[in-house]
Amino acid sequence: MNSRDLILAAIAGQPHPRVPVAQHNFTFCARQAGVTLERFRRDPKLAARVMADAAERFGYDCIILDFDTCTLAEALGARLQFPEDAPASVAEPALRDLAAFGDLPMPGPERDGRLPLWLETTRELRRLVGNEKAIMGRADQGPFGLLFQLRGHEALMLDLVDEEPAKLAAALEFCAQVGVRFARAQLAAGADLTSIGDGAAGQSLISPRHYRQFGQAFERRYRDLMGAGYLSLHICGQTNAIIEDMVATGCEVLELDHLNDLERSLRVIRDRTCVWGNLDPSSVLSQGSRIDVLDASRRVVELAKRLSWKFVLCPGCLANADVPPANIQAMTDAAAAWGRYEEPPAAGPA
């Protein structure tokens, strides 16, 4: 099996020889190549080459293609700020009133904002790696995360309390439809799977009750609308209280942050979806030694391979630009040394 085969087998829950490794590390890749993020996000051929070279150098199995978390918001009219060597962020939301979402045009992935740059990068990356490496082409934000950016943090938190649920639902439905168009385009461009981040819907910002009503319900709607293809869901931070709800979205992959209790989650999930995670990208990957990363990776893969075929070793969130190269290599080395399936796993009871 090559790298792409390993990733696809893990997602499908089919037997494979070892735990695969994915890297969410575009800022690291740019830093290693001596490329600023401003150049990286504006030049698809350069971005693809930078990511393909890093995957080849460090031997991991899946490239997670990403630029920032607000490209959809930009295509819908949010004003962004673009630091020279950091990901873009929202400077001014697009919606001063929740009801104004009805005035927003439906963006076209091949024509609006920087969405075409993402798709061109996916196509070029596929050309460079062929069928040897797997590609996760992110589709930016999930429905709640996108509305969060379009309205702004404080405004949306007040909306949850003050607005009629039907108005919130209508705005979230629009956001789901916007995202699905981009997700389908990423798959058509050559990605093996696509993914959404919905960190604003996590336990760090809203209650599990609000998550089920306004986060999970529209993540599930997104998955249903997307149709064919693999979809991954990533929620930053604590997700221990909502893991069953995340499974119920129907997403084929869940990317879990380092604050998630991985053993508990694997036992709750019981092979219903593929789990990616969940090394700490800061204290372990950025600040730890190679030995620290080897030890943390060993604990994760030895736990996961006992319980499931459906697991991929991955940082719990974006790996920082300052991660030592030896630490990226350590994840690959740990999977090779300790991630081999000597016997079939068996997921434990919830």
Q: What percent of the chain has pLDDT over 90?
A: 97
Structure confidence at residue 330 (pLDDT) = 98
Sheet with 134-141, edge to edge strand ranges = 22-23, 62-65, 134-141, 193-197, 230-235, 253-256, 274-279, 311-315
Q: Is residue 343 part of a domain?
A: no
Structure confidence at residue 230 (pLDDT) = 98
pLDDT by residue (tens digit) across 129-160?
Answer: 999 999 999 999 999 999 999 999 999 999 99
Q: Is residue 347 part of a domain?
A: no
User: Which neighbouring-strand residues pair with 96?
Assistant: none
Q: How many domains does the chain have?
A: 1
For residues 323-337, average pLDDT: 98
Confidence of residue 346 (pLDDT cuts 50, 70, 90): confident
Confidence of residue 128 (pLDDT cuts 50, 70, 90): very high
Structure confidence at residue 350 (pLDDT) = 39
Q: Is residue 346 part of a domain?
A: no
For residues 98-107, average pLDDT: 94
Q: Is residue 345 part of a domain?
A: no
Average pLDDT, the chain: 96
For residue 347, is pLDDT > 90? no
- Cβ density class 155-186: b for 16+ within 10 Å, e for less: bbbebeeeeeeeebbebbbbbbebbbbbbbbb
For residue 20, is pLDDT > 80? yes
**Domain of residue 316, residue span:** 3-338
Structure confidence at residue 281 (pLDDT) = 96
For residues 179-208, average pLDDT: 96
Structure confidence at residue 204 (pLDDT) = 87
Write down how long the chain is: 350
Give the side-chain half-sphere CA count within 13 A for 186. 27
Q: Is residue 304 part of a domain?
A: yes
Determine phi and psi for 239, rounding to 5 degrees. -135, 15
The CATH number for 92's domain is 3.20.20.210
Contacts of 162 (CB under 8 A, 6+ apart): none
